[in-house]
Amino acid sequence: MQNQRIISCERPAHDHVERCGYLFGWPINHSMSPLMHKTIFGEIGLNWEQFFLPSTDMSMFLSLVREDKFLGASVTMPHKVAIMKHVDELTQEGREVGAVNTLYLRKHGDKRILVGTNTDVIGIREAFYQNISNPDEVFHGRPGMVVGGGGAARSAVYALKKFMKCSKVYVVNRDKAEVDAVVSWCTEQGYGDGVIHTATVEQAEELEGPGAIVSCVPDFPPVTEAEQTARKVLEIFLGKPHKGAILEMCYHPNPHTEIAEISKNAGWNVILGTEAMIYQGLEQSMYWTGKTLDQLPVAKVKEVIAAQLAKGH
């Protein structure tokens, strides 16, 4: 079958750097991760680089991981689940979300321990806390909400429940089977209490409004009846009296999506998805460099990413 064909690429030449990392996934041509990490490393004086590795060749990637120069990696689709069986240890986030997007090394005596974690959940958390000055009023103790299904939805539920003090989480999506899978997974991992599939307009009208929403769907207008119902449910929640904050995870090709526009017009604070991308990347660099967030060039990273977006990256 064609989807099982291994897509390989040349090994990046890294003689010019002291340490090297990789962005491993397919396709990854639109990713700003190597640019972001190049900015971070350069600003703090490290001759390190993250290289694009557009590939589905797991064996080649694992051979690069074993090299002395390896500093860590960003792992994206389609490898976030497959990589889990190749690590020595998983953090709580990696294990409970069921997906790994970051590899880092830990030393135990002379032994190198390869650890897998999930910084997507930190990106979501920090996107809210770095942009909302009064979380107690905006979303603490209120329901949270996730639009979408799949792995991104699991990360969002985790962040809302574990980090953001949301009392319950509504999940709105066109596909019931996807939502059932998210609820089942979160329940198995111990954070599924109060995760509610909100499937109808009538149900949405009866429920308390959320304070934090994470939208994890592509920027396409709703076409099918299921898509239109999901959009209407979202609009009902946005129209409730309490106005919170919505993180629009979709930022390619344009961060100013239809959902962002609807939310803004409804009086909500819209947080661009690039914020989550930046803060998950800063968390990765904290693992790799040992620096704390206040020792990293946050403002410079934001400036570089904004300039790249303006060019249509």
**Residues with catalytic roles:** 80
Helix (H) or strand (E) holding 146: strand 144-147
Phi, psi of 282 (to 5 degrees): -65, -40
Sheet holding 102-108, edge to edge: 48-54, 19-25, 70-75, 102-108, 111-117, 89-90
Beta bridge partners of 247: 214, 271
Percent helix, strand, coil in the chain, to 5, is 45, 20, 40
Beta bridge partners of 269: 245
Are 122 and 279 in contact, with CB atoms under 8 Å apart? Answer: yes
Based on its alpha-carbon atoms, the radius of gyration of the chain, rounded to whole angstroms, reads 20
Cα separation of 68 and 65, whole Å?
8
